[in-house]
Amino acid sequence: MVLASASARRLQILQQIGAVPQHIHAPNIDETPKRGEHPRSLAKRLAREKAETARQAVRQVPGLEKALILAADTVVAVGRTILPKAETEEEARDCLRLLSGRTHKVYTAVSLVSARDKIHHRLSESRVRFALLRSKTIAAYLASQEWQGKAGGYAVQGRAGNFILRLVGSYSAIVGLDMAGTYDLLLAQNYPLFEVWQNNPLC
């Protein structure tokens, strides 16, 4: 298997499922939303483009000609407003102010390239309710630097978990990879998950 992502969070979730990539290839694509593009459609499109871009590179590597290739993308949105993957403190602050006291949606798409180069997809949709965030709370969170590069300017598995009043959907998908959907995709492609579980029991 090849993981088409440099995300440590996605790698950790894959390992929890029982899938350990033999190779990691993080494709560089333009993630700019198209005019009028729905957040759900954006997540699906980016996951597919990442998978296709990785496939072009990976298939040239000896020994990976028939490897499974897994790619994913996570989009945070309030209504149809797509929040950025915060790269600056100002972006993160704007995201947190918008999310404060509101419910937003998180769309996580997974694309898996099979050994026969067919692409299979799963899409997870989750709803997250944030508490009202005071200015000093936002300032402290920004100082933590945890927001850097995170969709919506926060990481649910970190300190921002304190802000969540209600979560409906897949927690792992909000972290970055829908565990149940990925599990189903891998089993459908005969990835030996159960053999991994049996040969590596948890203590």
CA distance 66 to 62: 10
Q: For residue 102, what is the domain's CATH number?
A: 3.90.950.10
Catalytic sites, residue numbers:
73
pLDDT at 202: 61
Q: Which range of residues forms the domain containing residue 177? A: 2-199
CA distance 34 to 88: 22
Q: Mark the ranges of the chain whose per-residue pLDDT is less than 50.
A: 203
**Left (φ > 0), alpha (ψ -120 to 50) or beta: where does 173 sit?**
alpha
| Cβ-proximal residues to 20 (8 Å cutoff; 6+ apart), any chain | 1, 14, 196
Domain count, the chain: 1
Neighbours of 55 (CB within 10 A): 22
pTM of this structure:
0.94
pLDDT at 203: 42
pLDDT at 196: 86
Q: Of 120, 115, 110, 127, nearest to 180 (Cα)?
A: 110
